[in-house]
Chains A and B, each alone.
Chain A
Amino acid sequence: LAKTTQPISMDSYEGQEVNITCSHNNIATNDYITWYQQFPSQGPRFIIQGYKTKVTNEVASLFIPADRKSSTLSLPRVSLSDTAVYYCLVGDGASGGSYIPTFGRGTSLIVHP
């Protein structure tokens, strides 16, 4: 079961790029890395998922080094609406009954004007 470690909080300003790193030293071979965004009183929203190297979509990029023991979520040009808690989740959902998704404490990102 891969345990994740993230900074508890981060501050940024509008228009800046924000990078949030997640450590997952005991990631398994078949595990994927998924990032979620959560606003207060809402369910988490899927941001991006990757297995290795770099993945980019319309809202974020995900960088995964070769050893896969960490990953970095990159949010380009953040706005006030990006203020939220960000979680990284590591696991293999296709593993059936052995998949137990475990959320860490997440990173509370505050974007200032």
Chain B
Amino acid sequence: GAVVSQHPSWVICKSGTSVKIECRSLDFQATTMFWYRQFPKQSLMLMATSNEGSKATYEQGVEKDKFLINHASLTLSTLTVTSAHPEDSSFYICSGLAGGPGETQYFGPGTRLLVL
């Protein structure tokens, strides 16, 4: 299957700082990428849809000024958590849509964010 990487795999930061997470599709081009957040023992919650060359579409309740998404190329999307607070601590996962009839999503390994 198609491969998606994320960097960093984990990050610890102080409250008030900003953190950038990179999502790369390594062996396919992803016009569309998704960003999810997952809290312990819960399902994945879609935060936003990232389309190459255009503004991201955020789900209801997700602050677009806090979670900045940039999709500058067909293989790279970034999520920046601005002025992070402890409640932003979570597991962030990205995915890319690969080609084919069903346009399958392939997921990255996730990034664990801990805000102190």
Per the bound structure, the CA–CA distance linking A93 and B34 in Å amounts to: 11
B51 → chain A closest CB, angstroms:
8
Per the bound structure, the CA–CA distance linking A42 and B38 in Å amounts to: 11
Q: Residue-by-residue, is B61-98 near A (CB-CB < 8 Å gives 1, otherwise 0)?
A: 00000000000000000000000000000010101010
State the interface size on chain B (CB cutoff 8 A): 29
A100 and B46 contact, CB distance less than 8 A: yes
B43 and A93 contact, CB distance less than 8 A: no
Number of A-B contacts (CB under 8 A): 70
The interface residues of chain B lying within 8 Å CB-to-CB of A100 are: 46, 49, 59
A80 → chain B closest CB, angstroms:
21
Q: A93-B97, A100-B49, A101-B34 are in contact. Are A44 and B44 (CB under 8 A)?
A: yes
In this complex, the interface size class of chain A, counting residues with CB under 8 Å from chain B, is 20 to 34
A101 and B57 contact, CB distance less than 8 A: no
B101 and A94 contact, CB distance less than 8 A: yes
Q: Residue-by-residue, is A92-105 near B (CB-CB < 8 Å gives 1, otherwise 0)?
A: 11100101111111
B101 and A42 contact, CB distance less than 8 A: no
Per the bound structure, the CA–CA distance linking A65 and B50 in Å amounts to: 34
In the assembled complex, A41 has its CB within 8 A of some CB on chain B: yes
A90 → chain B closest CB, angstroms:
10
The interface residues of chain A lying within 8 Å CB-to-CB of B46 are: 100-103
